[in-house]
Amino acid sequence: MSSCLFCKIVAGDIPADKIYEDEDVFAFHDIGKQAPHHFLVIPKIHIASLNETNDAALVGKLTLTASKIAKDLGFADEGYRVVMNCNDHGGQTVYHLHLHCLGGRVLSWPPG
């Protein structure tokens, strides 16, 4: 979608600190990191939010890609959190589906 920030990142029209890419997903460091490790995993196709998909394989792949990257970056054993914010009450600000992965410090619970 031409007006979507994350579609522009996938297309290379806006630079991002890319970690991983394959035919389905794209992962890059979050510009406003909330932990020593904070990256996003997104589908290459435009999906506005978790409410807009029934693609179990793709949603599952986002999660497994995050865990693989956490292992590759060396913080998986200590632990991490994966989060998808959905719509206004969930705190979603970019309306292209994305999975946050945060690690490298102890994360508090419950979130605010």
Site for ligand 5GP contains 30 (CB under 6 A): yes
- Count Cβ atoms within 10 A of the Cβ of residue 40 and give its class: 0-12 exposed, 13-18 middle, 19 or more buried: buried
Q: How far is CA 112 from CA 7, 11, 42, 95, in A?
A: 29, 33, 24, 21
| H-assigned helices in the chain | 5-11, 56-73, 87-90
57 binds ligand 5GP (CB under 6 A): no
**How far is it, in rounded angstroms, from Cα 43 to Cα 37?**
20
Contact pattern for Zn ion over residues 59 through 98, marking x by CB under 5 A:
-------------------------------------x--
Residue closer to ligand 5GP, measured from CB, 24 or 30 = 30
C-alpha 24/C-alpha 58 separation (Å) is: 8
- Which of 18, 44, 46, 61 is the binder for Zn ion (CB under 5 A)? 46
Near ligand 5GP by CB under 6 A: residue from 48, 73, 94, 107 = 94
Q: Which residues contact Zn ion by CB under 5 A?
A: 1, 4, 6-7, 46, 96
Q: Which residues would be at the binding site for ligand 5GP (CB under 6 A)?
A: 5, 16, 28-32, 85, 91-94
